[in-house]
Amino acid sequence: MPNTTTVQQSIPRVRIAPSPTGKLHIGTARSALFNYLFAHKLHGTFILRIEDTDRERSTLAYEESIKSGLQWLGLLWDEGPDAGGAYGPYRQSERTALYEKYLQELLDSGKAFICHHSSAEIQQEYEKKKEQKLPLVHRCDQLTGTDEKGVIRFRATEETITFTDLIRGNISVKASTLGDFSIAKSIHEPLYNFTVVVDDHKMHISHVIRGEDHISNTPKQVALYNAFGWTMPAFAHMPLILAPDRSKMSKRYGAVDIQEYRKMGYLPEALINFLALLGWNPGTEQEIFSLDELSEQFSLEHVQKGGAVFNQQKLDWLNGQYIKRLTSEELAQRAEPYLRDVLEGKKFDAALFQRVMPLAQQRMKTLRDIAEFAFFFSVAPYDPALLSWKDTSLEETRKYLEEVRTCIVGLDEAAWDEQRLEVAIMAHANALDNRGKMLWPLRVALSGLPQSPGPFSIAALLGKEQTLERLRTALQLLQ
């Protein structure tokens, strides 16, 4: 019987092991979150390991993107090399001597060998098998060669490989169906299925929690654990994140890079909450969780098997709920960079920004929605025709705006508030056959937009001086 013993530890050690060949995408972030929650619930250790053995595609820029994305989300790792007072990640590129040692051990024992078939020969073999509808695996019959160059392959056995998935139950695979699979391009160039086993063993990883796209890799890794006689970790394969049409998640259905969500104005705590509910169910009606609450309630038993469908409307709703729970001061601090981007160097009034926050807070779904309130600081040029309500002439519109100006110019600035403005202006607007003839041009004059909050709210926040100044500008346009 093959060794299927798994690591049994009351205090777990888990890891997230992204490859720095791309930015931190939403699937990897969700895997990191589930590992983090599992570890922190049981007071365990969460490790970041950078799998950068792909020298051609791995870059430091992508590594920095991964680290900054995890840090922004609040998923800080608990262990690693000293990086100036903080934990740096483990890197496979710094562990090559370790991989060479264990590759040589497999070669010396005969459990691995150097395959001397060329790439062209392997491809030709696969083409024939494809025609015969056979599995595309290689069984090497060329076990000797004139040199030591060639792909290192693990020799297939006839055993049955069995492992227990904590989400999906027992899984069994005939080792022969894996073929003689490659574990290194050379003694100095190990491949993923080999390095991940060595690293997880040496780092005493107790649980491997990852996406279900890795299920096909797991039998190969179990075979290597058996070959070394090592105790393997427990495996848990999460459902993939699917697009609304249940296809694989792609940019077509929304950003997949975590930094893109940050640029779009999503709060990290809202995104964490959203990701947790993609494939995990708390078993209650609760929908809004802090990271600490998620850590307390998370369990692998409540991770579903079926694909988790990405719901953009749910993310927007959650983000809006988190924005509403911020204080005005907190929201102002977070939203200010997004407003400054829109203003592009135009004057920024911090006191006005603080006054606008309560109004904006009720309407915002993302921090970037603060752009809709940029008119408080700078009115963009607009067509004078926009000032007229429906078929009202420009001359009539000018008359109505003059009336508005007349009825508010005498208001005491100390009594300048939304209620008094409404009383003063509505006394005139109600006398018209259509109040829109007066209220529409007032709102456009103050905002420069066809859609905005009500004119009394805008005027109250702008203050008397700015309100009268914008009315003057509108009247000049109508001339």
CA distance 346 to 60: 36
More confident residue, 407 or 4: 407
120 vs 343, more confident: 343
Q: What is the pLDDT of residues 314-369, one digit of tens each?
A: 999 999 999 999 999 999 999 999 999 999 988 899 999 999 999 999 999 999 99
Domain that holds residue 279: 1-243+261-310
pLDDT-derived band at 249, boundaries 50, 70, 90: confident
Q: Is the pLDDT of residue 5 over 70?
A: no
Residue, of 1 and 4, whose pLDDT is higher: 4
Mean pLDDT, residues 199-217: 96
Top-confidence residue, 418 or 429? 418
Is 99's pLDDT higher than 90?
Answer: yes
Percentage, residues of the chain above pLDDT 70: 93
Which pLDDT does position 143 carry in this prediction?
55
347 and 451 within one domain: no
Given the residues 251, 263, 305, 324, the one annotated as active site = 251
Residues 30 and 144 in one domain: yes
Domain holding 106: CATH number?
Answer: 3.40.50.620
Q: Is the pLDDT of residue 253 over 60?
A: yes
Please indicate whether residue 251 is annotated as part of the active site: yes
Same domain? For 193 and 286 the reply is yes
Q: Is the pLDDT of residue 142 over 80?
A: no
Q: Are residues 267 and 346 in the same domain?
A: no
193 and 231 both lie in a single domain? yes
State pLDDT tens for residues 35-44: 999 999 999 9
Q: Residue 214's closest CA among 239, 232, 191?
A: 239
Percentage of residues in the chain having pLDDT higher than 90: 75
Identify whether residues 229 and 188 lie together within a single domain.
Answer: yes
pLDDT for position 6 = 57
Q: Which residues of 296-330 are buried (b: 16+ CB within 10 A; e: fewer)?
A: ebbebeebeeebbbbeeeebeebbbebbeebeeee
Q: Residue 101: exposed, middle, or buried by beta-carbon count in 10 A (0-12, 13-18, 19+)?
A: exposed
In this structure, the number of other CB atoms found within 10 A of the CB of residue 145 comes to 13
Q: What is the pLDDT of residue 1?
A: 38
Looking at the 3D structure of the chain, how many domains does it have?
3
Shared domain check, 418 and 345: no
Residues 348, 285 within the same domain? no
pLDDT confidence band for 3 (50 / 70 / 90): very low
Sign of the CA dihedral 435, 437, 438, 444? positive
